[in-house]
Structure 1
């Protein structure tokens, strides 16, 4: 699958018939909301965990030297906390461009963290069959890669550090993110 998934997402998931959609953010969408939204709530999804296994050719790296950003991998029993944003379908013009580097939209149940209830929402996933997928590596290898990467959105390290800070502000612990942060801080 190509790096650029904009047209594929529009084909696979037309949203114009909906008044609003919940979007689940588990990476930079937690701390960088550069889009309008109707409502926001802390939420989580089950059966998924964050991993720095996706390449970033357009934001935190370049085509010649991609950075590393998050995707989700299936993990039975896992819980991934993040932020949910209620948005109008036209917001996906911007979001599909922002998340175009190998990410596909998928519907999944969202569970609210601080109140009872759930809603169906969209999450962007980058699977191993996309051209930007980098796959697993050790914490120290991932941190070294991130420490040496930068792109139009800034240093790759900033992505990790801001996410770790945002997760702490939410009172959430993510061992993978914090392990990469620890290794990264040794290098910076």
Structure 2
């Protein structure tokens, strides 16, 4: 995306946000978006086409009185497997470019899994739940958020995963109904056999 807003005093800072956290458990870790260095990304076998050099997200202005508190929280949450960088943020509305802090994922992050088969990834997301809710909520909310940022901000890979999730969900509901119908049919047959025995 473009990274943005007007710079304030030196005591405040801007943070570039592009995702969320806590959408899984250690047994079934969820999947969230992570920014990585281009040089490292180019060494990976990717399963979806590269659409743009822009990364879309939101710039958050951290007031001077909250800077220490926010930085301590972020350093605890993000420092394991992430490195701090500063990058220009270009607001979609054409406002002046601002300098934002951003956390970039590193290859030594234990939670980084790299590219994955899209269908297997969708199935994993479908069943992962964490402290902040189901991983599917994260994905579907991310799809909506990206679509609403700008006419250019939609992400084909995120949209593909969201479509796969909706298909899995649709099939699961059909399977649940079919299983319920089979259970009812089995119950009716069992009752019928019992009735016949009692009648005999």
TM-score where L is the length of structure 2: 0.64
Three-state SS of the structure 1 residue aligned to 2:53 is strand
Residue in 1 aligned with 2:11? Answer: 19
Residue from 123, 137, 141 that aligns with 1:162: 141
RMSD: 2.3
User: Counterparts of 1:136 and 1:169 in 2: how far apart (Å)?
Assistant: 26
Residue in 2 aligned with 1:153? Answer: 132
> Alignment length, in residue pairs?
143
Of Structure 1 and Structure 2, the greater helix share is in: 2
How far does the alpha carbon of each residue in 1:17-44 deviate from its partner, in whole angstroms, 9 at most, with x for none? x51111111123xxxxxxxxxxxxxxxx
Question: Is it true that 1:82 corresponds to 2:45 in the alignment?
Answer: no
Question: Is it true that 1:61 corresponds to 2:40 in the alignment?
Answer: no
Residue in 1 aligned with 2:6? Answer: none
User: Counterparts of 2:35 and 2:129 in 1: how far apart (Å)?
Assistant: 22
Question: Is it true that 1:71 corresponds to 2:34 in the alignment?
Answer: yes
Of Structure 1 and Structure 2, the greater strand share is in: 1
Residue from 147, 163, 186 that aligns with 1:182: 163
Three-state SS of the structure 2 residue aligned to 1:65 is coil
How far does the alpha carbon of each residue in 1:76-119 deviate from its partner, in whole angstroms, 9 at most, with x for none? 96111111011142222333344455333221121121124212
Gap regions ≥5 residues in structure 2: 1-9, 43-51, 170-200
TM-score where L is the length of structure 1: 0.68
Larger radius of gyration: 2
Partners of 2:17 and 2:59 within 8 A in 1: yes
